[in-house]
Amino acid sequence: MWSRRGHGWRIAALTTIGTAIVLPLVVFVLGPNMPPGKGTPVATSQVTDNTVLLVVMTPFTVFILVYLGYALTAFRAKPGEEGLDGAPLRGHFRSQVAWLASTTAAVLFLAIFGTTELLADNGAGGGAGPNPVTKPGGAPLPVQVIGQQWEFTYRYPTYGGVETATLVLPVGRKIAFHVTSLDAIHSFWAYELGVKADANPGVDNIAYVETKKISTFHVRCAELCGLWHGYMSDTGHVVSDADFASWIAARKRQFAPVMKYLPKYSSSYNPDPTFRAG
Amino acid sequence: MRRRRLVEFNLLTGVVLGIVGFYVGWWLGHLVKAPSLDYFDDTGQNDIALFVAYFTGVVGFLVGLGFANYPVQRMLGKPPSLREKETEGIGRYFGLCTDHKVVGIQYLIGIGAFIFIGGLNAMLIRFELLRPTHLAWNGNNYLTLVGLHGTMMMGMMTSGILGPFANYFVPLMIGARRMAFPRIEALTFWLLMAAGTILMTALAFGGFPTGWTGYAPLSVQANMGMDAYIAFFALVGLSMTLLGLNMLATVITMRAPGLAWGRLPIFVWGTVSTSVLMLLAAPVLISTLFMLALDRTAQTGFFNDQAGGSPYLYENLFWIFGHPEVYILALPGMGIVLELLPVFSRKPLWGYRLAVTGLLGITLLSFLVWQHHLFVSGINADLRPFYMLSTELISLPTGFIFVCALGTLWAGRIRLTVPMLFALAWVFNFLIGGLSGVFLSDVPSDVTTHGSFFSMAHFHYTIMGGLVFAFFGAVYYWLPKMTGFELDERLGKLHFWVMFLAFNSTFGPLLVIGFLGMPRRVVTYAGYLQGANEWVSVSAFVLGASMLVFVANLVWSQVFARVPAGANPWGSKSIEFQLPSPVPVHDFDRIPTFGPDPYPYGGIEEAGFDGTRPAVSPARPTP
Ligand code: HEM
Ligand SMILES: [Cu+2]
Ligand SMILES: [Cu+2]
C-alpha cells in the first residue's frame, strides 16, 4: 500500500494542477460573462466582484472535489476487506489548523473586499435607505420609482414632478432612484443597470447609478406583491440628452391637464390603507 | 390488564371531534360584531370566525386523541396511567402513544405524506413554467401553489429528521428508554398533523399570495387563505418549541451513567444544537404570526406604516426566526452525515471536537445574520458590512463540518452502500449550496441575486440537496432497524442515482437562470429563458419520479419481500445496532454501559494513539 504521506502529496499536486487549469478559465472565460453585464459602472464592478468571489472559491472547490474523488478511489474497501476497519485516526492537528487558517483568511478577505466595494460604489446599486452612507459627488438626477399593485410609475421632481409609466433616463448622468410604494412591498430591479431596491410604503429607499451608454434595460418587480406580480415588468430606456429633453417636455405637455389631480411630489405617499385586494 | 372502554380515544375520535370543533368555532366566531369589522359582511371574509374555528378544531382534535385524559384524571384525583398504548400491535400507531419508537414511526409516515404533497405542488409549479406565458394556472393559483409548496416543506421538514430519527434513536443512543416528556413528544407529532391539514384548507378559502415568507402588508390584505398559513405556521412553531424543549431536557438529564457529553454520538450533538435553535427561534415566529393575525382581525397596526407600525418590523421578526430556521433544516443533516461516514468508512469520526464546535458555532452565529435577507430593503443600510461579515463567518464552522467529513474518509475502508452514497451526495450538494451562498452574502453581488431564481436554487441546494439527501441516507440506514426488514439495495441505488443526477440537473441550471435575471415567484418570464426552463422542468419531473422509485422500494421491501434485516446489517458499532430489529418495546433489558468513544472502529494499537485514554470497549449493552 502507498504511504499516507504519498496520498497527501498526490492530493496537493492534483489540487494545484486543477487550480492552475481552472483559474484562468474562471478569470478569462467565466468572469467576463458574469451577471449583470457591463451596462453601467456599478454593474461593471458587480461583474468584477462576482469574478473575485469565483477566484477565491476556486482553490477550495478544486481541493474538496479532488479530495473526494481521490478518497473514493484510493480508500475504497477492496474485495475481501469488507469486515475490516480503517485506520483509527481521530484528527490531525496541523491539517485542522491549516484548514482553519485558510478559510479564515478567505472569509476576512471577502468581508473586507465586499465592504470596500459597497462603499466605493455608493451602495453598489442596492437600495441604501433614506440616508445613504456614501453619496456620489455632483448633483444626481432624482427619479422617483413608485411601486404599486401592479406596475411601476416614475416621477421626475426636477421636471415639475411629472409622473410617467415608462422609465427614460439621459445617458452619461448620475441618477438617484428614490424608491417607494403605495401598497405592498415591491422591489425595483433594473437588471442591466445593476440596480435593485425594495419599494416599501412610507419609505424613501435610495439607489445610485450612472448611465453609460444608450440602451434599453429590463425592469422587473423582485418582491412578491400579489396577484399580478408575475406580470409586473417593463422596459426602460437610456437615451441621449437631446432625446431625453424632448421626451420629458412632451410628457409635461401631455400630462399638464392631470397634474392638479396628482398629489404633490413627496418622498413617500399616504394611500388609503383600508382596502383589501387579492 | 387494560379495561376496554366503550369509546376508545384514537385518531377517529380525534378527527370527529376536530370537525365538530371547527364548526362550533365557526359559528361562535360569527357572533363577534364591531363597527370596524363591518367589512366581514360585505366581503364574506370573516377572519375571526376562521381563526376561532381553527382553534376549536385543533382543541377538539387533541381531546379526541386523548390528550385531555391525563390532566383531567389528575384533577379528579384518580391516579392515571403514566404510559399510554405502550404495547404491541398496530393500534398504537393510530393515536396518542408515549413510546418514543412509535412516535418516530408516526412522524416518518405522517411527515412523509405531507412532504409528498409538497413535492406534488412542486411538479405543478414546474409544469406552469414550461411556458414563459400563462399555461395552466392563473396568477392566484400559481402563487398559492408556490406558497403551499414552500410553506409545507419549510414547516414539515423542520421536524423531518428530529421527528422520526431523533425521537426514535436519541433515547437509545443515550441509554434512556424514553424521552423526558413522552406525552409532549406525542403532542408535537399530532400538532404537526393538525397543522398540515389546516394548511391544505387554504385551498378552500382562496389560497394565499405571499409565498412562505408571508410579508406584510400583502399578508394583511390577503384573503382568508392567509389565515390557514398563519394557523399552520403558528402550530408548527409550537410543535418545534416543544420538540426542542423535550430533546434538550432528555439529553441534559437522562443520559446513562458515565455517558459524558464528549462521548455522545455526533447525531445527538446535531439534535442538541437544532433543539437550541428551535427553542429560541420558534417562539419568535409564533408571536410574529400572532401580531399578523391581530392586524388581520382586530385591525391593529403592527405592520401598517400609517398606523404607527412598519412592514420592516414584520421582515425583521420573520427573519429573526427565519434564518435560525434554515439552520434548523441544515444541522440535523450534518449530524446524520457525520454519523454515517464513520460507519461506512469503518473509522472513528475525524475531529470529533471540531465537529461539535462547528455545530455549536453555527447555532450561535445563525442568530446574528438575519438582515442579510434585507440587503436591498433600505433598512439599516449602514449595518450591511456587519451582516456581510457575520454571514461569511458562518462558513468557518460550516467548514469544520466539511473538513471532519473529508477527514473521516481518509485512509478508511469505504463501502459505497446506499446510505453512504446519500451521505457523500450531501457533501457535494452542500458544497454547491455553500458556494452559491457566498454570492448572496456579498452585498454587491446580492443586488443581482436577491429575490431571483439564483437564491431559490441556492436554498434548494442546501435544503433539498443537504437535508433531504441526509434524510434518505438516514432512512436507508435506520429503517431496517425500525421495521426489522431490509430495503432493497438495487432499487435503493437506482433511487439514489436518478435522484442525484436529476436534482443537479434541475437546480444547477436554475442558478444560471437566476443569474440571467429571472425573479422568484413569477408565473411569466422572459421568452429567451424558455429553453432553459423546459430543461429544468423535465429534470424536475424525473426528480419527482425518483421519489416513486423510493415509494416502490418501500412498499416492495416492507410489505411483500420482507427480508429480515438482522440486528446489525451494516456492521455498525452504534448502540442501536446492538439491539434486536425492530427494537423491543422496552428498548433494553438493562441500561447499557458506554465506552469513551462512540466510534470504536479500528484497533487502538494501530493508531499510533497516545494511549492516555483507556482502551476502547465496544459500545455494547451488557445483557
Ligand atoms: C422535487 C423537488 C423540488 C422541486 C422540483 C422544487 C421546485 C421549486 C420551485 C420551482 C420553486 C419556486 C417557485 C417560484 O419561485 O416561482 C420552489 C420554491 C420553494 N421550495 Fe421547492 N422544490 C423541491 C423541493 C423542495 C424541498 C424539499 C424544500 C424544503 C424542504 C423546498 C422548499 C421550497 C421553498 C421554501 C420555496 C420558496 C417558496 C416561496 O417562494 O415562498 N422545495 N420549489
Ligand atoms: Cu410588485
Ligand atoms: Cu438567512
What is the C-alpha R_g of chain B? 25
* Ligand sitting nearest the alpha carbon of A227: 2
Which region among A234-238, B78-82, B523-527, B548-552 has the lowest average model confidence (pLDDT)? Answer: B78-82
Q: What is the pLDDT, as a whole number, of residue A188? A: 97
Number of H helices, E strands in chain A: 4, 10
pLDDT band at B615 (very low <50, low <70, confident <90, very high): very low
**B520 in a structural domain:** yes
- Judge residue B512's burial from the number of C-beta atoms within 10 Å of its C-beta, 0-12 exposed, 13-18 middle, 19 or more buried: middle
State the amino acid at position B304 in one-letter form. Answer: N
Q: What is the pLDDT, as a whole number, of residue B607? A: 35
B69 shares a domain with B117:
no
Q: What is the pLDDT, as a whole number, of residue B609? A: 32
Q: What is the pLDDT, as a whole number, of residue A271? A: 66
Chain B closest CA to A158's CA: distance in Å? 23
pLDDT in tens, A69-109: 999 999 998 888 777 888 888 889 999 999 999 999 999 99
- Judge residue B553's burial from the number of C-beta atoms within 10 Å of its C-beta, 0-12 exposed, 13-18 middle, 19 or more buried: buried
State the amino acid at position B617 in one-letter form. Answer: S
A233 C-alpha to ligand 2 centroid (Å): 9
Chain B's closest residue to A44, CA to CA, is: B444
CB < 8 Å from A in window 100-129 of B: none
**B583 in a structural domain:** no
Q: Cell 436518478, residue?
A: B498
Q: Which residues of A touch B151 (CB under 8 A)?
A: none
**Residue B233 and residue B151: Cα distance in Å, rounded?**
8
Q: Across residues B284-312, what is the average pLDDT? A: 93
**B617 in a structural domain:** no
Tell me which residue has its CA closest to atom 33 in ligand 1: B150
Q: What is the pLDDT, as a whole number, of residue B622? A: 37
- Judge residue B622's burial from the number of C-beta atoms within 10 Å of its C-beta, 0-12 exposed, 13-18 middle, 19 or more buried: exposed
B121 shares a domain with B215:
yes
**Residue A239 and residue A236: Cα distance in Å, rounded?**
10
B106 shares a domain with B18:
no
> What torsion do the CA atoms of B602, B604, B609, B611 make, to the nearest 10 degrees?
160
B155 shares a domain with B52:
no
B483 shares a domain with B561:
yes
Of A191, A197, A218, nearest to B378 by CB-CB distance is A197
On whether any CB of chain A is under 8 Å from the CB of B136, the answer is no
CB < 8 Å from A in window 233-292 of B: none
**B593 in a structural domain:** no
Determine the 3-state secondary structure of A234 from DSSP.
Answer: strand
Distances (CA, A) of A39 to A192, A216, B45, B277, B380: 6, 10, 48, 43, 28
Closest CA to A235 of A143, A178, A154, A179: A154
- Judge residue B7's burial from the number of C-beta atoms within 10 Å of its C-beta, 0-12 exposed, 13-18 middle, 19 or more buried: exposed
Of A53, A126, A220, nearest to B519 by CB-CB distance is A220
Q: What is the pLDDT, as a whole number, of residue A177? A: 97
Q: Which residue range forms the structural domain that includes residue B174?
A: 82-86+100-576
Cis bond upstream, residue A150 (ω within 30): yes
Q: What is the pLDDT, as a whole number, of residue B2? A: 53
B18 shares a domain with B105:
no
Would you say A106 and A56 are in contact if contact means Cβ atoms under 8 Å apart?
yes
B572 shares a domain with B524:
yes
B118 shares a domain with B73:
no
* Ligand sitting nearest the alpha carbon of B374: 3
Q: What is the pLDDT, as a whole number, of residue B80? A: 76
Q: Other CB atoms closer than 10 Å to residue B35's CB: what's the count? A: 5
Would you say B148 and B199 are in contact if contact means Cβ atoms under 8 Å apart?
yes
- Between B424 and B135, the higher pLDDT residue: B424
Tell me which residue has its CA closest to atom 3 in ligand 1: B122
Burial B115-140 (b: 16+ CB within 10 A, else e): bebbbbbbbbbbbbbebbeeeebebb
Query: ipTM of this model?
Result: 0.94
Q: What is the pLDDT, as a whole number, of residue A140? A: 95
Q: What share of residues in chain B are helix, strand, coil (percent, to 5)? A: 70, 0, 30
Q: Other CB atoms closer than 10 Å to residue B4's CB: what's the count? A: 6
Q: Across residues B354-359, what is the average pLDDT? A: 97
Distances (CA, A) of B61 to B95, B293, B422: 11, 22, 37
State the amino acid at position B322 in one-letter form. Answer: G
Number of domains comprising chain B:
2
B462 shares a domain with B542:
yes
E strands in A120-204:
141-148, 151-156, 162-164, 168-170, 174-181, 186-190, 195-199
B393 shares a domain with B337:
yes
Q: Which of B315, B456, B523 to mutate to test the pocket of ligand 1 (most atoms within 8 A of CB)?
A: B456
Q: What is the pLDDT, as a whole number, of residue A81? A: 79
Cis bond upstream, residue B80 (ω within 30): no
**B292 in a structural domain:** yes
Would you say A177 and A156 are in contact if contact means Cβ atoms under 8 Å apart?
no
**B562 in a structural domain:** yes
Chain B's closest residue to A231, CA to CA, is: B524
**Ligand 1 first shell, C-beta below 6 A:** B 119, 122, 125-126, 146-147, 149-150, 153-154, 157, 211-213, 456, 460, 463-464, 468, 506, 520-521, 540, 543-544
Distances (CA, A) of B601 to A85, B219, B414: 6, 54, 13
pLDDT in tens, B425-471: 999 999 999 999 999 999 999 999 999 999 999 999 999 999 999 99
Q: Which residues of B touch A198 (CB under 8 A)?
A: 374, 376-378
**Under an 8 A CB cutoff, do A86 and B522 touch?**
no
What is the C-alpha R_g of chain A? 27
**B597 in a structural domain:** no
Determine the 3-state secondary structure of A53 from DSSP.
Answer: helix
Closest CA to A148 of A255, A266, A268, A264: A268
Q: What is the pLDDT, as a whole number, of residue B52? A: 97
Of A86, A117, A273, nearest to B304 by CB-CB distance is A273
Tell me which residue has its CA closest to atom 20 in ligand 1: B150
Closest CA to B296 of B47, B54, B51: B47
Using the predicted structure, report yes or no on whether residue B233 has a pLDDT greater than 90: yes
Using the predicted structure, report yes or no on whether residue A275 has a pLDDT greater than 60: no
- Name residue A171's beta-bridge partners: none
> What is the number of the ligand 1 atom nearest to the C-alpha of B160?
30
Output the nine-digit C-alpha cell for B453: 431564481
pLDDT band at A142 (very low <50, low <70, confident <90, very high): very high
Q: What is the pLDDT, as a whole number, of residue A278? A: 38
* Ion ligand 3, residue ranges at CB < 5 A: B 323
pLDDT in tens, B360-388: 999 999 999 999 999 999 999 999 999 99
Q: Which residues of A touch B524 (CB under 8 A)?
A: 230-231, 233
DSSP character at residue B519: B
**Residue B242 and residue B325: Cα distance in Å, rounded?**
15
Q: Other CB atoms closer than 10 Å to residue B483's CB: what's the count? A: 18
> What is the number of the ligand 1 atom nearest to the C-alpha of B540?
5
- The alpha-helical segments, DSSP class H, found in B163-257 are 167-173, 182-201, 218-221, 225-253
**Residue A24 and residue A3: Cα distance in Å, rounded?**
33
Using the predicted structure, report yes or no on whether residue B408 has a pLDDT greater than 60: yes
pLDDT band at A272 (very low <50, low <70, confident <90, very high): low
B369 C-alpha to ligand 3 centroid (Å): 6
**HEC-encoded secondary structure of B101-142:** HHHHHHHHHHHHHHHHHHHHHHHHHHHHCCCCCCCCCCHHHH
A227 C-alpha to ligand 2 centroid (Å): 9
**Under an 8 A CB cutoff, do B412 and A195 touch?**
no
- Widest CA span of chain A, in angstroms? 90
Number of H helices, E strands in chain B: 21, 0
pLDDT band at B590 (very low <50, low <70, confident <90, very high): confident
B128 shares a domain with B76:
no
Closest CA to B147 of B172, B169, B118, B183: B118
B460 C-alpha to ligand 1 centroid (Å): 7
Using the predicted structure, report yes or no on whether residue A158 has a pLDDT greater than 90: yes
Q: Across residues B23-45, what is the average pLDDT? A: 85
**Under an 8 A CB cutoff, do A68 and B444 touch?**
no
Q: Give pTM, 2 decimals.
A: 0.94
* Ion ligand 2, residue ranges at CB < 5 A: A 186, 221, 225, 232
E strands in chain A:
141-148, 151-156, 162-164, 168-170, 174-181, 186-190, 195-199, 205-210, 215-221, 233-239
On whether any CB of chain A is under 8 Å from the CB of B500, the answer is no
Of A46, A83, A195, nearest to B445 by CB-CB distance is A46
User: How close are the terminal C-alpha atoms of chain A, in Å?
Assistant: 69
Of A85, A95, A230, nearest to B602 by CB-CB distance is A85
Q: What is the CATH number of the domain that holds B229?
A: 1.20.210.10
**Average pLDDT, whole number, for chain B?**
92
Q: Which residues of A touch B222 (CB under 8 A)?
A: 226, 278
Question: Among the three residues B576, B592, B614, which one is the final residue of a domain in this structure?
Answer: B576
Tell me which residue has its CA closest to atom 38 in ligand 1: B150
Burial A43-69 (b: 16+ CB within 10 A, else e): bbbbbbbbbbbbebbbbbbbbbbbbbe
Using the predicted structure, report yes or no on whether residue B325 has a pLDDT greater than 90: yes
Continuous segment of H or E residues that includes residue B566: none
B126 shares a domain with B47:
no
Q: Which of B142, B449, B460, B537 to mutate to test the pocket of ligand 1 (most atoms within 8 A of CB)?
A: B460
**B612 in a structural domain:** no
Using the predicted structure, report yes or no on whether residue B605 has a pLDDT greater than 70: no
